Amino acid sequence: PSNRTTLIAGNWKMNNDREEAKALASALVEALPEVPAGVEVCVCPPTIDLCCVSHKLDGSAVKLGAQNVYFEAKGAYTGETSVAMLKSVPVQYCIIGHSERRDYFHETDEDQNKKAAALIAGGIVPIFCCGEPLEVREAGTYVEHVVAQVKAGLTGLQVTDPSQLVVAYEPIWAIGTGKTATADDAQEVCGAVREVLAEIFGAELADGIRVLYGGSAKPGNIAELVAKPDVDGALVGGASLVAEDFASMVVKA
Ligand code: PEP
């Protein structure tokens, strides 16, 4: 909301083979011949399908993002993908620090800081994820938890324009569970994220940086979420795999 462009970003995770990825991209382009003013859309397919999806999205209003990146420029890092490789596809956004990467692949806050710096230097917008597990939510220390993640992940970055960075608040207990945080819960933490962004980057930049909510966002709750003053869109998992659902979220945002 406010003067910020709403961003609806789809995280396909490890789903779809090549033909399915191409079909989903085509269905989405068909369902979204145009995107409402003030809204931006992107999809983040698996790395192996970035090129074929890029061809399908060519000339459409749907932008392309990656799900992960490595921070080193090149060399002996078997299985990894550099910023320059993503840029050459071309990719405009890249999710970093998703809770699945942090939990299953042991990625640290320090890794996120290096990834964010490399992406920004290379002209790709990081979608930096943060969020608390259920036990932290229940203990009541979730704001402190998220603020610490944002500080560790984003301090020291060379951000000169607010469009260079996106943050996604994703409470882990709401991811893939069907259990959405209420719009008020989302606002509370997204507002706290904006405050810590102001500490790090200054109030003016922080006012322009998009802060998304993620966690079981769907057509039925997107309007209520983005109506909140500090919720500037959504990072969408499950619902981004169904073209009609994802398109309908874009229209309702
Ligand atoms: C996610 O993992 O980024 C996500 C928001 O997933 P879902 O929408 O399926 O909860």
pLDDT tens profile 2-42: 789 999 999 999 999 999 999 999 999 999 988 999 999 99
Structure tokens at 40: 């931006």
CA of 176 to the centre of ligand 1 (A): 5
First to last CA, the chain: 10
Three-class SS of the chain: CCCCCEEEEEECCCCCCHHHHHHHHHHHHHHCCCCCCCEEEEEECCHHHHHHHHHHHCCCCEEEEECCCCCCCCCCCCCCCCHHHHHCCCCCEEEECCHHHHHHCCCCHHHHHHHHHHHHHHCCEEEEEECCCHHHHHHCCHHHHHHHHHHHHHCCCCCCCHHHCEEEECCHHHCCCCCCCCHHHHHHHHHHHHHHHHHHHCHHHHHHCEEEEECCCCCCCHHHHHCCCCCCEEEECHHHHCHHHHHHHHHHC
From the CA of 178, give the closest atom in ligand 1: 10
Probe target for ligand 1 pocket from 236, 240, 246, 249, with the most ligand atoms within 8 Å of CB: 236
* Cα(216) to centroid(ligand 1), Å: 6
Residue among 115, 156, 166 at smallest CA distance from 9: 166
Give CA–CA dist 101/109, Å, rounded: 11
CA-168 nearest atom, ligand 1 = 3
165 CA to centre of ligand 1 in angstroms: 19
Neighbours of 247 (CB within 10 A): 22
Among the listed residues 100, 107, 132, 170, the single catalytic one is 170
Residue ID of nearest Cα to ligand 1 atom 3:
237
Could you identify the atom of ligand 1 that is nearest to the CA of residue 95? Answer: 3
Q: Which residues contact 118 (CB under 8 A, 6 or more apart)?
A: 69, 71, 72, 73, 83
What pTM value is reported for the model?
0.98
pLDDT score of 1 more than 70: no
Q: CA 196, 192, 121, 204 torsion: positive or negative? A: negative
Dist CA 239 CA 216 (whole Å): 8
* Ligand 1 neighbours (beta carbon < 6 A): 11, 170, 175-176, 214-217, 235-239
Q: Is the pLDDT of residue 218 over 80?
A: yes
Is 100 a residue of the active site? no
Cα(190)–Cα(187) distance, rounded to whole angstroms? 5
**Do residues 99 and 168 make contact, with C-beta atoms less than 8 angstroms apart?**
no
The whole-number pLDDT of residue 178 equals: 84
> Ligand 1 mean position to 247 CA, how many Å?
16
Could you tell me how many residues make up the chain? Answer: 253
- The predicted pLDDT at position 35 comes to 92
Q: What's the pLDDT tens digit per position in 84-104?
A: 999 999 999 999 999 999 999
Name the nearest CA neighbour of 64 among 140, 128, 124, 137.
124
pLDDT at 248 over 70: yes
Instruction: Determine whether the annotation assigns residue 68 to a binding site.
Output: no
Is there a binding annotation on residue 10?
Answer: no
CA distance 145 to 168: 14
Q: Give the residue, by CA position, lying nearest to ligand 1 atom 1.
A: 237
Residue 140 Rama label (left phi>0; alpha psi -120 to 50; beta): left
As a whole number, the mean pLDDT across the chain is 97
180 vs 111, higher pLDDT:
111
173 labeled binding residue: no
| Index of the ligand 1 atom closest to the CA of residue 13 | 2
6-252 CATH: 3.20.20.70
Catalytic, out of 98, 107, 132, 145: 98
- Catalytic (active site) residue 80: no
